[in-house]
Amino acid sequence: MELNFENITKSYKNKQVLKGISLTMGTGVYGLLGPNGAGKTTMIRIMADVLRPEKGSVTYNGNDIYAAGDEYRANIGYLPQDVSFYDDFTGRDYLEYSAALKGMEKKRAKERIGELARSVGLSDDLNKKCTAYSGGMQRRLGIAQALLDDPKILILDEPTSGLDPYERIKFRNIISAYAKDRLVLLSTHIVSDVEQIAAQIMMMEHGIIQHVKTCEEYIRMMEGRVWLVNMPAEQLVDYQNRAVISNVRAKDGCMVVRVIEDAKPDGGAVQAVPTLEDAYLYLFNYLPEKNGR
Ligand SMILES: Nc1ncnc2c1ncn2[C@@H]1O[C@H](COP(=O)(O)OP(=O)(O)O)[C@@H](O)[C@H]1O
Ligand SMILES: [Mg+2]
Protein backbone atom coordinates (compact mmCIF):
# COMPACT_ATOMS: atom_id res chain seq x y z
CA MET A 1 0.00 0.00 0.00
CA GLU A 2 1.23 3.47 -0.81
CA LEU A 3 -0.31 6.86 -0.22
CA ASN A 4 1.56 9.68 -1.82
CA PHE A 5 1.34 13.45 -1.38
CA GLU A 6 2.99 15.44 -4.14
CA ASN A 7 3.60 19.12 -3.54
CA ILE A 8 0.24 19.86 -1.92
CA THR A 9 -0.61 23.49 -1.25
CA LYS A 10 -3.68 25.10 0.30
CA SER A 11 -4.58 28.69 1.16
CA TYR A 12 -7.41 30.32 3.07
CA LYS A 13 -8.08 33.78 1.66
CA ASN A 14 -4.53 34.98 1.08
CA LYS A 15 -2.88 32.95 3.78
CA GLN A 16 -1.05 29.85 2.61
CA VAL A 17 -1.48 27.18 5.28
CA LEU A 18 0.06 24.25 3.38
CA LYS A 19 3.22 25.18 1.52
CA GLY A 20 4.09 22.15 -0.57
CA ILE A 21 3.63 18.87 1.28
CA SER A 22 5.34 15.89 -0.32
CA LEU A 23 5.53 12.53 1.41
CA THR A 24 4.94 8.84 0.97
CA MET A 25 3.25 6.60 3.52
CA GLY A 26 2.89 2.83 3.65
CA THR A 27 1.48 0.57 6.35
CA GLY A 28 2.09 1.36 10.02
CA VAL A 29 1.40 4.24 12.37
CA TYR A 30 2.41 7.72 11.26
CA GLY A 31 2.41 10.44 13.87
CA LEU A 32 1.79 13.99 12.77
CA LEU A 33 3.12 16.31 15.46
CA GLY A 34 3.06 20.06 15.49
CA PRO A 35 1.87 23.12 17.35
CA ASN A 36 -1.65 24.50 16.96
CA GLY A 37 -2.05 26.20 13.62
CA ALA A 38 0.71 24.15 11.93
CA GLY A 39 -1.67 22.85 9.26
CA LYS A 40 -2.25 19.32 10.57
CA THR A 41 -6.04 19.38 10.29
CA THR A 42 -5.88 20.92 6.82
CA MET A 43 -3.53 18.18 5.64
CA ILE A 44 -5.71 15.49 7.22
CA ARG A 45 -8.89 16.82 5.65
CA ILE A 46 -7.21 16.69 2.26
CA MET A 47 -6.15 13.09 2.89
CA ALA A 48 -9.71 12.20 4.00
CA ASP A 49 -11.08 13.80 0.82
CA VAL A 50 -13.27 16.32 2.60
CA LEU A 51 -11.15 19.22 1.34
CA ARG A 52 -9.44 19.74 -2.01
CA PRO A 53 -5.91 21.08 -2.29
CA GLU A 54 -5.09 24.08 -4.41
CA LYS A 55 -2.22 22.43 -6.21
CA GLY A 56 -0.48 19.08 -6.15
CA SER A 57 -1.81 15.56 -6.14
CA VAL A 58 -2.63 12.78 -3.71
CA THR A 59 -2.43 9.25 -5.04
CA TYR A 60 -3.35 5.91 -3.47
CA ASN A 61 -1.50 3.00 -5.03
CA GLY A 62 -0.74 5.24 -7.99
CA ASN A 63 -4.33 6.44 -8.58
CA ASP A 64 -5.45 10.02 -8.04
CA ILE A 65 -7.74 9.96 -4.99
CA TYR A 66 -10.04 12.66 -6.33
CA ALA A 67 -10.51 10.84 -9.64
CA ALA A 68 -11.18 7.62 -7.69
CA GLY A 69 -13.84 9.35 -5.52
CA ASP A 70 -16.08 6.86 -3.70
CA GLU A 71 -13.72 4.03 -4.52
CA TYR A 72 -11.00 5.80 -2.53
CA ARG A 73 -13.31 6.95 0.25
CA ALA A 74 -14.41 3.35 0.83
CA ASN A 75 -10.90 2.75 2.22
CA ILE A 76 -11.03 5.61 4.70
CA GLY A 77 -11.93 5.72 8.38
CA TYR A 78 -11.85 9.29 9.62
CA LEU A 79 -12.20 10.85 13.03
CA PRO A 80 -12.45 14.64 12.62
CA GLN A 81 -10.97 16.93 15.24
CA ASP A 82 -14.40 18.25 16.20
CA VAL A 83 -17.35 15.89 16.09
CA SER A 84 -20.84 17.04 16.90
CA PHE A 85 -23.68 14.70 17.74
CA TYR A 86 -27.41 14.93 17.08
CA ASP A 87 -29.22 15.73 20.32
CA ASP A 88 -31.48 12.72 20.38
CA PHE A 89 -28.95 10.12 19.15
CA THR A 90 -27.75 7.40 21.47
CA GLY A 91 -24.25 5.99 21.01
CA ARG A 92 -25.78 3.03 19.24
CA ASP A 93 -27.88 5.26 16.93
CA TYR A 94 -24.74 7.18 16.01
CA LEU A 95 -22.77 4.05 15.17
CA GLU A 96 -25.68 2.49 13.24
CA TYR A 97 -26.17 5.69 11.31
CA SER A 98 -22.45 5.91 10.52
CA ALA A 99 -22.46 2.26 9.42
CA ALA A 100 -25.40 2.94 7.09
CA LEU A 101 -23.57 5.93 5.58
CA LYS A 102 -20.61 3.67 4.92
CA GLY A 103 -22.95 1.25 3.17
CA MET A 104 -22.31 -1.56 5.63
CA GLU A 105 -24.65 -4.50 5.62
CA LYS A 106 -26.91 -4.52 8.76
CA LYS A 107 -25.83 -7.81 10.28
CA ARG A 108 -22.15 -7.03 9.92
CA ALA A 109 -22.71 -3.51 11.27
CA LYS A 110 -24.37 -4.95 14.36
CA GLU A 111 -21.47 -7.32 14.98
CA ARG A 112 -18.84 -4.63 14.47
CA ILE A 113 -20.69 -2.20 16.75
CA GLY A 114 -20.72 -4.81 19.52
CA GLU A 115 -17.03 -5.62 19.02
CA LEU A 116 -15.89 -2.02 18.89
CA ALA A 117 -18.05 -0.92 21.83
CA ARG A 118 -16.27 -3.58 23.85
CA SER A 119 -12.85 -2.61 22.67
CA VAL A 120 -13.32 1.12 23.42
CA GLY A 121 -15.17 0.35 26.68
CA LEU A 122 -18.62 1.69 25.79
CA SER A 123 -20.71 -1.50 25.89
CA ASP A 124 -22.71 -0.35 28.90
CA ASP A 125 -23.29 3.13 27.54
CA LEU A 126 -24.50 2.50 23.99
CA ASN A 127 -28.14 3.19 24.87
CA LYS A 128 -27.37 6.53 26.49
CA LYS A 129 -27.61 9.82 24.61
CA CYS A 130 -24.28 10.91 23.08
CA THR A 131 -24.84 14.40 24.39
CA ALA A 132 -24.79 12.99 27.94
CA TYR A 133 -21.37 11.36 27.31
CA SER A 134 -18.24 12.85 28.83
CA GLY A 135 -15.60 14.29 26.48
CA GLY A 136 -13.58 11.09 26.76
CA MET A 137 -16.61 8.90 25.98
CA GLN A 138 -17.47 11.00 22.93
CA ARG A 139 -13.90 10.62 21.73
CA ARG A 140 -14.03 6.85 22.20
CA LEU A 141 -17.33 6.75 20.32
CA GLY A 142 -15.66 8.70 17.51
CA ILE A 143 -12.78 6.25 17.44
CA ALA A 144 -15.24 3.34 17.19
CA GLN A 145 -16.99 5.14 14.31
CA ALA A 146 -13.68 5.55 12.44
CA LEU A 147 -12.89 1.84 12.84
CA LEU A 148 -16.36 0.53 11.88
CA ASP A 149 -15.77 -0.64 8.36
CA ASP A 150 -12.24 -1.94 8.98
CA PRO A 151 -10.68 0.82 6.90
CA LYS A 152 -7.33 0.28 5.17
CA ILE A 153 -6.51 3.91 5.90
CA LEU A 154 -7.37 5.24 9.33
CA ILE A 155 -7.09 8.99 9.83
CA LEU A 156 -7.42 10.35 13.35
CA ASP A 157 -7.29 14.05 14.13
CA GLU A 158 -6.37 14.65 17.79
CA PRO A 159 -7.90 11.31 18.81
CA THR A 160 -6.75 11.46 22.41
CA SER A 161 -8.00 14.90 23.39
CA GLY A 162 -10.15 14.47 26.48
CA LEU A 163 -8.96 10.93 27.21
CA ASP A 164 -7.59 10.17 30.67
CA PRO A 165 -4.23 8.37 31.02
CA TYR A 166 -5.76 4.90 31.17
CA GLU A 167 -7.98 5.57 28.13
CA ARG A 168 -4.92 6.88 26.31
CA ILE A 169 -2.96 3.72 26.92
CA LYS A 170 -5.91 1.59 25.81
CA PHE A 171 -6.24 3.71 22.69
CA ARG A 172 -2.55 3.27 21.85
CA ASN A 173 -2.86 -0.48 22.18
CA ILE A 174 -5.91 -0.63 19.90
CA ILE A 175 -4.16 1.47 17.26
CA SER A 176 -0.89 -0.43 17.42
CA ALA A 177 -2.61 -3.75 16.86
CA TYR A 178 -4.78 -2.27 14.12
CA ALA A 179 -1.88 -0.78 12.14
CA LYS A 180 -0.17 -4.09 11.52
CA ASP A 181 -1.26 -4.22 7.89
CA ARG A 182 -2.94 -0.86 7.50
CA LEU A 183 -2.04 2.80 7.39
CA VAL A 184 -2.85 4.91 10.44
CA LEU A 185 -2.22 8.64 10.50
CA LEU A 186 -2.62 10.24 13.87
CA SER A 187 -2.30 13.96 14.47
CA THR A 188 -1.62 15.34 17.91
CA HIS A 189 0.26 17.96 19.82
CA ILE A 190 0.81 15.48 22.63
CA VAL A 191 4.20 13.95 22.12
CA SER A 192 3.61 10.86 24.27
CA ASP A 193 0.65 9.83 22.11
CA VAL A 194 2.94 8.88 19.25
CA GLU A 195 6.22 8.27 21.02
CA GLN A 196 5.64 4.60 21.61
CA ILE A 197 3.58 3.51 18.64
CA ALA A 198 4.48 5.55 15.57
CA ALA A 199 6.92 4.01 13.11
CA GLN A 200 7.47 7.43 11.57
CA ILE A 201 6.94 10.78 13.19
CA MET A 202 6.36 13.83 11.03
CA MET A 203 6.99 17.18 12.60
CA MET A 204 4.99 19.95 11.00
CA GLU A 205 5.17 23.69 11.42
CA HIS A 206 4.07 26.66 9.33
CA GLY A 207 2.47 24.43 6.70
CA ILE A 208 5.59 22.40 6.02
CA ILE A 209 6.61 18.90 7.12
CA GLN A 210 9.92 19.87 8.63
CA HIS A 211 11.17 16.42 9.65
CA VAL A 212 10.23 12.77 9.14
CA LYS A 213 12.12 10.33 11.33
CA THR A 214 11.63 7.40 13.65
CA CYS A 215 11.39 8.09 17.36
CA GLU A 216 14.83 6.51 17.85
CA GLU A 217 16.34 8.80 15.23
CA TYR A 218 14.95 11.90 16.96
CA ILE A 219 16.29 10.69 20.28
CA ARG A 220 19.71 9.89 18.83
CA MET A 221 19.83 13.35 17.31
CA MET A 222 19.37 14.81 20.80
CA GLU A 223 22.21 12.92 22.44
CA GLY A 224 24.64 15.39 24.02
CA ARG A 225 22.08 18.19 23.82
CA VAL A 226 20.00 17.62 26.94
CA TRP A 227 21.42 18.65 30.32
CA LEU A 228 20.50 18.84 33.97
CA VAL A 229 21.73 21.99 35.69
CA ASN A 230 21.27 22.99 39.33
CA MET A 231 20.55 26.64 39.97
CA PRO A 232 18.90 28.88 42.53
CA ALA A 233 15.30 29.88 41.78
CA GLU A 234 16.26 33.56 41.26
CA GLN A 235 18.48 32.65 38.32
CA LEU A 236 15.76 30.68 36.59
CA VAL A 237 13.74 33.63 35.28
CA ASP A 238 16.67 35.02 33.33
CA TYR A 239 17.79 31.59 32.17
CA GLN A 240 14.33 30.80 30.86
CA ASN A 241 14.61 33.65 28.39
CA ARG A 242 17.75 32.39 26.74
CA ALA A 243 17.54 28.60 26.85
CA VAL A 244 15.02 25.95 25.90
CA ILE A 245 13.94 24.45 29.19
CA SER A 246 12.03 21.20 29.11
CA ASN A 247 11.50 20.71 32.82
CA VAL A 248 12.08 22.31 36.21
CA ARG A 249 12.01 20.42 39.49
CA ALA A 250 12.64 21.72 42.99
CA LYS A 251 15.11 19.66 45.02
CA ASP A 252 16.78 20.48 48.34
CA GLY A 253 16.05 24.21 48.06
CA CYS A 254 17.54 24.37 44.56
CA MET A 255 16.10 24.04 41.05
CA VAL A 256 17.05 21.12 38.84
CA VAL A 257 16.60 22.45 35.34
CA ARG A 258 16.41 20.24 32.28
CA VAL A 259 17.79 22.33 29.48
CA ILE A 260 18.37 21.81 25.78
CA GLU A 261 21.61 23.29 24.50
CA ASP A 262 24.07 22.27 21.79
CA ALA A 263 27.02 22.82 24.10
CA LYS A 264 27.39 21.90 27.74
CA PRO A 265 26.01 24.73 29.87
CA ASP A 266 28.09 26.20 32.73
CA GLY A 267 27.48 25.28 36.34
CA GLY A 268 28.26 21.59 36.61
CA ALA A 269 25.72 20.39 34.05
CA VAL A 270 25.30 16.66 33.60
CA GLN A 271 24.03 14.97 30.47
CA ALA A 272 20.46 13.61 30.55
CA VAL A 273 18.85 10.80 28.55
CA PRO A 274 16.89 12.54 25.75
CA THR A 275 13.23 11.99 24.98
CA LEU A 276 11.07 12.72 21.96
CA GLU A 277 9.67 15.72 23.81
CA ASP A 278 13.18 17.19 23.99
CA ALA A 279 13.48 16.77 20.22
CA TYR A 280 10.12 18.48 19.71
CA LEU A 281 11.18 21.46 21.83
CA TYR A 282 14.60 21.60 20.16
CA LEU A 283 13.34 21.41 16.59
CA PHE A 284 10.53 23.89 17.10
CA ASN A 285 12.96 26.08 19.03
CA TYR A 286 10.71 26.86 21.94
CA LEU A 287 12.63 29.86 23.17
CA PRO A 288 10.13 31.91 25.15
CA GLU A 289 11.06 35.26 23.64
CA LYS A 290 10.95 33.94 20.07
CA ASN A 291 7.45 32.61 20.55
CA GLY A 292 6.12 35.39 22.71
CA ARG A 293 5.26 32.90 25.43
N1 LIG B 1 -11.69 27.21 7.24
C2 LIG B 1 -10.67 28.03 7.50
N3 LIG B 1 -10.71 29.33 7.13
C4 LIG B 1 -9.66 30.15 7.37
N5 LIG B 1 -8.51 29.77 7.98
C6 LIG B 1 -8.41 28.50 8.37
C7 LIG B 1 -9.48 27.55 8.16
N8 LIG B 1 -9.09 26.36 8.66
C9 LIG B 1 -7.84 26.55 9.16
N10 LIG B 1 -7.44 27.83 8.99
C11 LIG B 1 -6.11 28.35 9.39
O12 LIG B 1 -5.12 27.54 8.81
C13 LIG B 1 -4.05 27.33 9.71
C14 LIG B 1 -3.82 25.85 9.94
O15 LIG B 1 -4.94 25.33 10.63
P16 LIG B 1 -5.09 23.79 10.98
O17 LIG B 1 -4.90 22.99 9.74
O18 LIG B 1 -6.38 23.64 11.70
O19 LIG B 1 -3.85 23.55 11.97
P20 LIG B 1 -3.63 22.49 13.14
O21 LIG B 1 -4.58 21.37 12.95
O22 LIG B 1 -2.19 22.08 13.01
O23 LIG B 1 -3.86 23.22 14.42
C24 LIG B 1 -4.39 28.11 10.97
O25 LIG B 1 -3.74 29.33 10.92
C26 LIG B 1 -5.88 28.26 10.88
O27 LIG B 1 -6.29 29.44 11.54
MG1 LIG C 1 -5.96 20.56 14.14
Domain CATH for 204: 3.40.50.300
Is the distance from CB of 94 to CB of 116 less than 8 angstroms?
no
Query: What percent of the chain has a predicted confidence (pLDDT) above 90?
Result: 84
Minimum mean pLDDT range among 56-60, 278-282, 289-293: 289-293
In short, whether 80's Cβ falls inside 6 Å of ligand 1 is: no
pLDDT level of residue 8 (50, 70, 90 thresholds): very high
Amino acid at 207: G
- Look at residues 219, 242, 267 and tell me which one is the last residue of a structural domain: 219
* CA nearest ligand 1 atom 27, residue: 37
- Look at residues 186, 204, 219 and tell me which one is the last residue of a structural domain: 219
Range of the domain at 278: 222-291
The predicted pLDDT at position 237 comes to 83
Looking at the fold, whether 119 and 192 belong to one and the same domain comes out as yes
* CA nearest ligand 1 atom 25, residue: 37
- How far the first Cα of the chain sits from its last, in Å, is 42
290 to 91, 103, 244, 284: CA distances (angstroms): 45, 50, 11, 10
Looking at the fold, whether 243 and 110 belong to one and the same domain comes out as no
The predicted pLDDT at position 185 comes to 98
Minimum mean pLDDT range among 29-33, 70-74, 216-220, 235-239: 235-239
**CA–CA distance, 215 with 96 (Å, rounded to integer):** 38
CA–centroid distance, 37 to ligand 1, in Å, is 6
Minimum mean pLDDT range among 38-47, 60-69, 82-91, 206-215: 82-91
Which-ligand-closest: CA of 161?
A: 2
Looking at the fold, whether 146 and 284 belong to one and the same domain comes out as no
Question: Which pTM was predicted?
Answer: 0.92
In short, whether 47's Cβ falls inside 6 Å of ligand 1 is: no
Show the DSSP H helices in 34-155 as ranges.
40-47, 65-68, 70-73, 91-101, 106-120, 135-147
Looking at the fold, whether 17 and 122 belong to one and the same domain comes out as yes
pLDDT score of 261 more than 50: yes
In short, whether 36's Cβ falls inside 6 Å of ligand 1 is: yes
How many CB atoms neighbour CB 101 within 10 A?
11
Minimum mean pLDDT range among 13-22, 88-97, 245-254: 245-254
Mean pLDDT of 111-119: 97
**CA–CA distance, 32 with 203 (Å, rounded to integer):** 6
Which-ligand-closest: CA of 33?
A: 1
pLDDT score of 70 more than 50: yes
Determine the distance from the C-alpha atom of residue 291 to the mean position of all C-alpha atoms in its chain, rounded to a whole number. 22
CA–centroid distance, 129 to ligand 2, in Å, is 26
pLDDT level of residue 56 (50, 70, 90 thresholds): very high
The predicted pLDDT at position 85 comes to 87
Looking at the fold, whether 44 and 178 belong to one and the same domain comes out as yes
Looking at the fold, whether 239 and 192 belong to one and the same domain comes out as no
The predicted pLDDT at position 293 comes to 41
Looking at the fold, whether 204 and 230 belong to one and the same domain comes out as no
Looking at the fold, whether 84 and 33 belong to one and the same domain comes out as yes
Looking at the fold, whether 236 and 92 belong to one and the same domain comes out as no
**CA–CA distance, 10 with 18 (Å, rounded to integer):** 5
Looking at the fold, whether 178 and 243 belong to one and the same domain comes out as no
- Look at residues 219, 237, 259 and tell me which one is the last residue of a structural domain: 219
Phi, psi of 31 (to 5 degrees): -100, 130
Looking at the fold, whether 269 and 160 belong to one and the same domain comes out as no
pLDDT level of residue 288 (50, 70, 90 thresholds): low
The predicted pLDDT at position 189 comes to 84
Looking at the fold, whether 127 and 245 belong to one and the same domain comes out as no
**CA–CA distance, 260 with 281 (Å, rounded to integer):** 8
pLDDT score of 226 more than 80: yes
DSSP tag of 191: H
CA–centroid distance, 117 to ligand 1, in Å, is 32
How many domains are there within the chain?
2
In short, whether 142's Cβ falls inside 6 Å of ligand 1 is: no
The predicted pLDDT at position 292 comes to 45
Average model confidence (pLDDT) across the chain: 93
